[in-house]
Amino acid sequence: MGTGHFFWVIFYFASLCSASLANNAKINFREKEKKVLDQILGAGKYDARIRPSGINGTDGPAIVRINLFVRSIMTISDIKMEYSVQLTFREQWTDERLKFDDIQGRLKYLTLTEANRVWMPDLFFSNEKEGHFHNIIMPNVYIRIFPNGSVLYSIRISLTLACPMNLKLYPLDRQICSLRMASYGWTTNDLVFLWKEGDPVQVVKNLHLPRFTLEKFLTDYCNSKTNTGEYSCLKVDLLFKREFSYYLIQIYIPCCMLVIVSWVSFWLDQGAVPARVSLGVTTLLTMATQTSGINASLPPVSYTKAIDVWTGVCLTFVFGALLEFALVNYASRSDMHKENMKKKRRDLEQASIDAASDLLDTDSNATFAMKPLVRHPGDPLALEKLRQCEVHMQAPKRPNCCKTWLSKFPTRSKRIDVISRITFPLVFALFNLVYWSTYLFREEEDE
């Protein structure tokens, strides 16, 4: 009997243990979450209109820590001076009224999708132009409540934010676009925003922008004081560098080619008036169209941009090539007029010489002595006067290379063309040297 009684006692305790394990295995934690939520958020137990207390239950301001995850940057508009960004925005604070029993660590946190059930910071984006939430398929928002009363709020939003730009170095510029977050109604006596310790801002890997590169970002504080009090504010400065290769291919190289094409006019014949006029007018109109297209994609700012200097000088060179042909045409007509006048003068002189010779032949009875106008080289009187002149004459000057070279071209119109072939490329090369050294040096200073 003793052995049988001992066996039944062991069997009874084993049955109790198995029943207890079975009960634990059948615990419905979702039902436990409902009970906990009803317990901490039930009617008359929690008021979402009252802000949480300060650190350690004091009457100080509620501390809200912020962090961001930048998912994408869609567009950066120069003409509107704005940029669009999609990000995951997170806030975290402690509300001791939301503490609950975690059932020995089995209930890690509670999840809500209705933000109006708990107190929320009144944060807004101060430089926002447009913004919207994402509701496909369900609203992209959640609230997690932890056993110690810590609350995590996360939401995915898309924003279009103002970004004032300085375009003096465009397109060799860098731009700083900010994201500002501030409290709308709670002053720093009640609410303070802080960046989350560690890594408050994360950016998605392989972020691709068509015309910019995100070089770095900086976090800072920007508290503002108004006549209603001081308000907590956070900001992120995103430093963008403009990709110059696009503008080099689309603007700078085509403008250089147009300027060089306008120089072809200097190598055409002076008589090819239709060819030279059509070439000059075509390049001028093309350059003007290029300039207007560039300005159409930029805001009408009051200062001069780097691209304005480039297009203005290129337009001046093309216009100068057209004016050069007008000058060549005028010089050509002037040369023709001078040549005609010389020809007439020679004809008149020849006619007068012929008339004088006829008069001498007919008047054979008249005899008179005439001194020769030109003395022969062997004349002693001429040699004596030549020696006297050599005493008073200065040493002959060295020949000028440029004048000697230009003397090969008898007409002024041809000389203008030849000088332009050398002057225009040299001046344009000098301009390029000054332009790139100036703006690249200023870019390094700004950096």
What tens digit of pLDDT does each residue of 328-382 get? 888 777 767 666 677 777 767 777 776 666 666 655 554 444 444 444 555 555 5
Residue 53: count other Cβ atoms within 10 Å of its Cβ. Answer: 16
Spatial distance between the Cα atoms of 44 and 38, rounded to a whole number of angstroms: 11
Q: Which own/partner pairs from 43-47 qualify as long-range (CB within 8 Å, at least 24 positions apart)?
A: 46/97, 46/98, 46/118
Residue 401: count other Cβ atoms within 10 Å of its Cβ. Answer: 8
Write down the pLDDT at residue 19: 46
Give the residue carrying structure tokens 């010389």.
342
C-alpha closest to that of 130 among 102, 103, 157, 165: 157
Q: Are 209 and 249 in contact (CB under 8 A)?
A: no
What tens digit of pLDDT does each residue of 304-313 get? 999 999 999 9
Structure tokens belonging to residue 14: 């084993």
Write down the pLDDT at residue 360: 60
Check whether the bond before 171 is cis (ω within 30° of 0).
yes
pLDDT of residue 220 exceeding 90, the answer is yes
Spatial distance between the Cα atoms of 28 and 13, rounded to a whole number of angstroms: 25
Question: pTM of this prediction?
Answer: 0.73
What tens digit of pLDDT does each residue of 170-214 get? 999 999 999 999 999 999 999 999 999 988 999 998 888 888 999
Residue 33: pLDDT band with limits 50, 70, 90: confident
Q: Are 74 and 84 in contact (CB under 8 A)?
A: yes
Q: Are 263 and 424 in contact (CB under 8 A)?
A: yes
What tens digit of pLDDT does each residue of 60-102 get? 899 999 999 999 998 999 999 999 999 999 999 999 888 888 8
